[in-house]
Amino acid sequence: MDPKDKVLADGELKKFTNFVSRWKKRYFVLKEDSLSYHLSQKDKKVKGSITLKGAKVNPIEKSKRRFIVYKGNTDIHIKCRDKAEKTKWLNALSDSVIYFDEN
């Protein structure tokens, strides 16, 4: 298996969709070089993704549950269930983002 196909983290989080629909549950999958999301865990079709090379992560210090992953004109606003889940995802993301920033 290609190391880039290895899943580093996955799970159901909320994604901000727009001001009308607000937060929607999505199934997120973090791999070494990308963060993608699906409508559900069973859904194989990728609804959206962001390549992590050159991406930035904003942990939103004022929020115990939210963070943003962004690159260029693409940003994904994410809300976790609690602070522990946020920490888990930020740690996993920082490993991937740092990996790419060093190359």
1 assigned to some structural domain: no
66 assigned to some structural domain: yes
61 assigned to some structural domain: yes
89 assigned to some structural domain: yes
Sheet holding 48-51, edge to edge: 48-51, 34-38, 22-31, 7-18, 74-79, 66-71, 56-58
Q: Is the pLDDT of residue 1 over 70?
A: no
pLDDT per residue as tens digits for the range 19-63 = 888 999 999 999 989 999 999 999 999 999 999 988 999 999 999
- Tell me the residue range of the domain where 59 lies: 6-101
Overall domain count for the chain = 1
Q: What CATH number is associated with residue 93?
A: 2.30.29.30
- pTM beyond 0.85, yes or no: yes
d(CA 103, CA 46): 27
